[in-house]
Amino acid sequence: RKEVEQDPGPFNVPEGATVAFNCTYSNSASQSFFWYRQDCRKEPKLLMSVYSSGNEDGRFTAQLNRASQYISLLIRDSKLSDSATYLCVVREGSQGNLIFGKGTKLSVKP
């Protein structure tokens, strides 16, 4: 069974903190990786794709370690608006369907 595992949290951090989320995936043949964010009872929204060399988008940095089948997301200078559930997502199959982790809940406090 193909799985994506995440620490469910919650992570409760003060504004301005740096927080890191980790994720592992079971299928070594997986090719594409993403972080989505999901607000309560809303749809998943793409935060960023994760590239083999690692990539950064403003305060967000994603890393991929294919040998360990491990993906990470680092958020610097946390904002109140960063409060959400962060979903680790892996693309599977020949038709590109997505396998989601259960998500890690982040709560940023003033």
Partner 1 sequence: EPEVTQTPSHQVTQMGQEVILRCVPISNHLYFYWYRQILGQKVEFLVSFYNNEISEKSEIFDDQFSVERPDGSNFTLKIRSTKLEDSAMYFCASADDRAGNQPQHFGDGTRLSIL
Residues in contact with partner 1 by CB under 8 A are 31-32, 34, 41-46, 49, 51, 87, 91, 93-103
Residue with smaller CB distance to partner 1, 8 or 16: 8
- The Cα-based distances of 17 to 13, 29, 74, 86, 109 in angstroms read 6, 35, 11, 16, 10
Q: How far apart are CA 47 and CA 33, in angstroms?
A: 11
Residue written as token pair 């610097």: 76
Residue with smaller CB distance to partner 1, 62 or 108: 62
Helix (H, G, I), strand (E, B) or coil at 82: helix
Minimum CB separation from partner 1 for residue 80, in Å?
22
Residue with smaller CB distance to partner 1, 14 or 94: 94
For residue 25, count CB atoms less than 10 angstroms from its CB and return exposed for 0-12, middle for 13-18, buried for 19 or more. buried
Minimum CB separation from partner 1 for residue 11, in Å?
18
Minimum CB separation from partner 1 for residue 95, in Å?
4
Residue with smaller CB distance to partner 1, 28 or 97: 97
Minimum CB separation from partner 1 for residue 13, in Å?
23
